[in-house]
Amino acid sequence: ELGLYANLRPIKLFDELLGASSIKPEILKGADILFFRELTGDIYFGEKGRKNNGDTAFDVAEYSRYEVERIARKAFDARTRKKKLCSVDKANVLETSRLWREVVQKVALEYPDIEIEHQFVDATAMLLIKDPRRFDVVVTANLFGDILTDEASQIAGSMGMLASASIG
C-alpha cells in the first residue's frame, strides 16, 4: 500500500564497538556496508501450496524486470560511497537470478563510474565473515537479502545495533 520496495540496511562498525562482535576486531575494523534488499518479489510473494496429500510443498520465486531495475538503480545511486557495487544472486542455478544478473548488468551500463561485481549468495555469505571490508554497496533479492543482512548483523554484534529503512 505504501509502495515500499527497497530495504536499506547499513552495517557500519565504529571502533568503540569492535568488541561487541564475536569476530576478530582486526577483520572488522573499517567495515562499512550498505545493503539494498528488494522487498516486493521473490519467494515470499510467489505462489505457495501443498500437493500429494500434503507430502509435497512448493514456494515459487518470481521477479519482473521492472522490480530488478528499480532496486538496481537505487543501489547504483549510492554514489557518495566508494563506487563499488556487489550484486548477489545464484545465477548458476536459478532462472530468477539469471534475470537478476542480466538486468543489473544492463543498468550498470548507465553508471560507468561504478565498479560492479556479481557474486553467488553462498560465496557472499562466506566473504561477509572472512573479509567484510571488501564490500561497499550490496544489492540482492528479497530472500538472499533477508539471510545476508541477518548474518551481517554479527559484524556489528547484534541485529539490535543496526538501522534499517524500507523505502519506496
- In the structure, what pLDDT confidence band is assigned to residue 163 with cuts at 50, 70 and 90? confident
pLDDT at 47: 94
Mind giving me the DSSP string for 36-51? EEE-SSSTTTS-EEEE
**Beta partners for residue 117, in sequence order:** 86
**Beta partners for residue 87, in sequence order:** 118, 139
SS (H, E, C) 85-135: EEEEECCCCCHHHHHHHHHHHHHHCCCCCCEEEEEEHHHHHHHHHHCHHHC
The single residue of 42, 89, 90, 136 carrying the catalytic annotation is: 90
| Residue 150 annotated among the catalytic residues of the structure | yes
Give the pLDDT confidence of 83-139 residue by residue, as tens digits.
Answer: 999 999 999 999 999 999 999 999 999 999 999 999 999 999 999 999 999 999 999
Count of residues making up the chain: 168
Give the pLDDT confidence of 39-54 residue by residue, as tens digits.
Answer: 999 999 999 999 999 9
The single residue of 44, 83, 84, 111 carrying the catalytic annotation is: 44
15 three-class SS: helix
| Residue 44 annotated among the catalytic residues of the structure | yes
| Residue 122 annotated among the catalytic residues of the structure | yes
The span from the CA of 144 to the CA of 125, in Å, is 9
| pLDDT for 154 beyond 90 | no
| pLDDT for 158 beyond 70 | no
- In the structure, what pLDDT confidence band is assigned to residue 160 with cuts at 50, 70 and 90? low
CA distances from 78 to 97, 113, 114 (A): 22, 12, 10
| Residue 15 annotated among the catalytic residues of the structure | no
Global pTM value = 0.92
